[in-house]
Amino acid sequence: MNLSSLPPFVNETYRDFLIPEHKAAMLAALAQVRAELGREYDLQIAGHPEKGGPDKLLSYNPSLTTELIGMHQKATAEQAARAVEQAHAYFPTWNAVPAELRAARLFRAAAILKRRKSEFNAWMVLESGKNWLEAEADTAEAIDFCDYYARQMLRYATPEPLVQMPGEHGQLTYLGLGVGVIIPPWNFPLAILVGMTVAALVTGNTVVIKPSSETPTIAAKFMEVLHEAGFPPESFQFLPGSGAEVGDLIVSHPKTRFISFTGSKEVGLRIVELAAKTQPGQRWIKRVVAEMGGKDAIVVDSQAADLDAAASGVIAAAFGFQGQKCSACSRLIVDATIYDEFVAKLKPLAEALTQGPAEDPSNYMGPVIGAKAEKTVLNYIEIGKSEGRLITGGAKAQGPGHFIQPTIIADVESTDRIFQEEIFGPVLAVTKARDFDHAMQLANDSAYGLTGAMYSANPEKIARARAEFFVGNLYINRKCTGAMVGAHPFGGFNMSGTDSKAGGPDYLLQFLQAKSIAEKIIG
């Protein structure tokens, strides 16, 4: 297998659930998944299932808080340490497997995910509260990561030739690093888990996967995909557990070579700190690949071509998946000359959003992920009411789950907490800009720098935004969510992380080390 023999990469197509056959497939998958709810899942260490400590990790449906999705083990400290040791022991074997064979397994994983697309969608609907379309996009992105990273590994397996010195033969090869700790988030419970995991595996590394405590069942189901695709069971360890008991341990372990993390700024910075401290017996400087959230802004300029399109883009970016995306629009910055007109457009759009259990395809918005998130978001809403002017929402929504109304708060100042702090919920803070200079100043007034967008028809202002809007992913005249693998390499600046550019041509380099070899020609 080589890259030239493969068709070009193409993103997985989203299905239209208004088409009866696609709707029927989802309904059947939901029924299938419902029949599996409440079962117990084991740890996996070197291919062997194990029970954990006496306490169990229970996952519930955030749309129906009494419905148990899955029961999972909590790994002990001994099991966590052993998982790293087992992964370390198997690394030389897996790293020696030719890149073409590792990539072939990844293509098989993509095919399995395609076959089980409706099933994985259904698990996300029930365990993470994603609506049907958001779940479809999540599974499609997971498929894309497999197809894309397999191709990228083949590219690195035959790197561009070096400059050849007279009398020498020079080459550059890429090697895996060692054991990687994979710590994915709950908000993209399949796509980001898959992307982080397969990037590490296809580059020849072994992994210890510590799934999110909010969505462990989806992670357990993906372990089935890895098994079926032919990844050796020793190459990946499945280790649910508490961050305090096992998370810190596997990050700090001297045989851990790198940590791939997506989550909050606070946890990410702790991982960076733990990884930077060299442990007795450690023989390398650990790498950290981190994506740590955002406080993303959309700027609507006075010369925006279509205010209705801009308003629709803002609403979609702010309230898609209940605002629980690191790329979500949580700050809206509007030029003063159109401020009142534009804010007036937002209220009816937000109030028209349907909300309820994610299982019902007529609902655009579902629940926030859990009780802790609900409490945090509602607290921020109260803070926002004291800082700005409530336009709509502002309270818990009715229903048997963790539902919060889409909330818009206007007249927010840049010093206000809801302007500066990541809320991770359906809350949009709106701020007035005096002019375009002020808008750029406000957009960059954040510790984060993940995504941003600007609506304008003025080429000079667009050029300035390209140069001055300090984010890792900038979108012009479109919403700031919805990055596509291969098209929008994803990762941010400042406290948004290490600008990892997931789904881009350079991402795999973070899981590889380059070896330069020069051989003098004799005779």
pLDDT in tens, 184-214: 999 999 999 999 999 999 999 999 999 999 9
70 pLDDT more than 90? yes
Rounded Cα distance between 209 and 193, Å, is 9
**Band (469; pLDDT cuts 50, 70, 90):** very high
**Band (125; pLDDT cuts 50, 70, 90):** very high
Evaluate whether residue 283 is within a structural domain.
yes
Evaluate whether residue 442 is within a structural domain.
yes
Residue 306 tokens read as 């279509």
In this prediction, residue 413 carries a pLDDT of 98
What CATH code is carried by the domain that includes residue 243? Answer: 3.40.605.10
Evaluate whether residue 322 is within a structural domain.
yes
Evaluate whether residue 17 is within a structural domain.
no
What CATH code is carried by the domain that includes residue 433? Answer: 3.40.309.10
Evaluate whether residue 495 is within a structural domain.
no
Per-residue pLDDT reduced to its tens digit, 73-96:
999 999 999 999 999 999 999 999
Q: Return all residues near 447 (Cβ < 8 A) that are at least 6 apart.
A: 265, 295, 420, 494, 495
523 pLDDT more than 90? no
Give yes or no: residues 288 and 309 share one domain.
no
What phi and psi values does residue 470 have, to the nearest 5 degrees? -90, 80
Give yes or no: residues 392 and 504 share one domain.
no
How many folded domains does the chain comprise? Answer: 2
Give yes or no: residues 264 and 307 share one domain.
no
Q: Choosing from 141, 214, 291, 374, which is the catalytic residue? A: 291
Taking residues 254-276, report their average pLDDT.
98
Q: Choosing from 326, 359, 374, 480, which is the catalytic residue? A: 326
What are the DSSP calls for 296-323, one per residue? Answer: EEEEE-TT-S-HHHHHHHHHHHHHGGGG
Residue 307 tokens read as 């205010």
- Look up 291 and say whether it is catalytic: yes
244 pLDDT more than 90? no
Classify burial at 281, counting beta carbons within 10 Å of its beta carbon; exposed 0-12, middle 13-18, buried 19 or more: exposed
7 pLDDT more than 90? yes
114 pLDDT more than 90? yes
410 pLDDT more than 80? yes
Report, in angstroms and rounded to the nearest whole number, the Rg of the chain calculated over CA atoms.
23
Cα distances (Å, whole numbers) of residue 251 to 10, 95, 166, 170:
35, 21, 45, 36
Give yes or no: residues 253 and 336 share one domain.
no
Q: How many CA atoms lie within 13 A of 156 on its CB side?
A: 28
1 pLDDT more than 90? no
**Band (4; pLDDT cuts 50, 70, 90):** confident
Evaluate whether residue 1 is within a structural domain.
no
Residue 52 tokens read as 């954990």
**Band (377; pLDDT cuts 50, 70, 90):** very high
Evaluate whether residue 209 is within a structural domain.
yes
Q: Return all residues near 424 (Cβ < 8 A) that are at least 6 apart.
A: 187, 293, 323, 324, 328, 373, 376, 377
Give yes or no: residues 183 and 287 share one domain.
yes
Spatial CA neighbour of 388 closest among 366, 407, 363: 407
Give yes or no: residues 70 and 201 share one domain.
yes
Give yes or no: residues 184 and 259 share one domain.
yes
DSSP state of 7: P
**Band (159; pLDDT cuts 50, 70, 90):** confident
Give yes or no: residues 149 and 80 share one domain.
yes
Q: How far is CA 518 from the centre of its chain?
A: 40
Per-residue pLDDT reduced to its tens digit, 132-153:
999 999 999 999 999 999 999 9
Give yes or no: residues 402 and 270 share one domain.
no
| HEC readout, 493-504 | EECCECCCCECC
Evaluate whether residue 341 is within a structural domain.
yes
Average predicted confidence (pLDDT) for the chain: 97
Give yes or no: residues 372 and 277 share one domain.
no
In this prediction, residue 414 carries a pLDDT of 98
In this prediction, residue 273 carries a pLDDT of 98
Rounded Cα distance between 198 and 149, Å, is 8
**Band (362; pLDDT cuts 50, 70, 90):** very high
* Domain of 429, in residue numbers: 296-484
Give yes or no: residues 352 and 284 share one domain.
no
What phi and psi values does residue 42 have, to the nearest 5 degrees? -100, 160
Taking residues 336-365, report their average pLDDT.
98
Give yes or no: residues 167 and 153 share one domain.
yes
Taking residues 401-414, report their average pLDDT.
98
